[in-house]
Structure 1
Amino acid sequence: MDKERMIETIRSGMPERRWRHVQGVIETSIVLAERFGADPAKAELAAILHDLAKYWPVDRMEAYIREEGVDLDVLDYDKELWHAPAGAYAAAKDFGVADAEVLDAVRWHTSGRESMTRLDRVVCLADYMEPSREFPGVERIRELAESDLDAALAAGFDSTIRFLLDKGKRIYPLTVTARNGLIRTNTIT
């Protein structure tokens, strides 16, 4: 499927406000890819695709996750995580995306994972800090992202973990693993 048709299909499946977020993630992903040495074209494609399943009914997300059979453990956690693996599978199945690196960046943009690729980190961070995002700590994440991809992403994970703790919610283990991996490999303090 050509890029313009893909964009129109994805855009039609979400509210206009979410599409503005996606546009912000696209622009931010390209900037971060150029800044930190990831492939800007892959970053753009992953950003276009990252929320394609966000507004699907829960049963459709679950069906895609079960059909793919890869990330079944995510079904035991908050449904807010489900759109990422469902979207990665849909990108391959419904849009013909075959680039494993792009699909992984879509799959891990909400939870992270240990040993994230540069593209994974760029797209995940762009999702945290695109211009329309407003939450406590986002300005610090943006400042860190001027010079340190891993410190900025670790700050993003810290924010998510803090939010989940404050709400009394369970934390998906891969988010903790991703954060700890960034801390361990980069001695971020």
Structure 2
Amino acid sequence: MQTIPTPQSKLQTLKEIIQFVIITLIIVLPIRFFIAQPFIVSGGSMNSTFDDGNYLIVDEISYRFNNPNRGDVVIFKHPYDNSRYLIKRLIGLPGETVEMKAGIVTVKNKNNPNGFSLNETYLDSKNNLLYGSSTIDLESDEYYALGDNRIASSDSRMWGPLKKDLIVGRPFVRLWPLTRFSILPGFFDAYEKK
């Protein structure tokens, strides 16, 4: 024998669905907009650390409490088109001078006025070509960002220093491809804390 739903039971079901949707939105939206967000790598500027199509979860909260470090890989809004997001590695920190000459990156700061060269073992030597020479002084809210695949990267060499307020976060998890699943992908701690 079938029972016919009463208007009260239909109303109760509708209330439960609305309640479920509201609770879900209250939980999911703050996480998505303030704590973590998905990011798909597009292009080869970070090869071979990150490849085209890698699916990442971005930690958006860490840099609200701590400043980025040299060597951190960050996701940020493009300086000239805030609707586009890029992924690069931070090479120069606020207040430093970054010099590039003959393929060598040298960083000068108050602790190292003569500068030090970066030990960038994560780079593929055939893609580590820096042509010409340049020097840039970073302000108190600026970073210098380069792609790991220097020959195919549009980065601070093209559009200048990266303002801190454009940094969205750092890769927390690489979910895809499964064969390269990792926590804190791209993390590199071989730089001396200078």
User: With structure 2 as the length reference, what TM-score do the two structures score?
Assistant: 0.26
The structure number with the bigger radius of gyration is 2
Higher helix proportion (structure 1 or 2): 1
For CA contacts below 8 A with separation 6 or more, give which structure has more relative contact order: 2
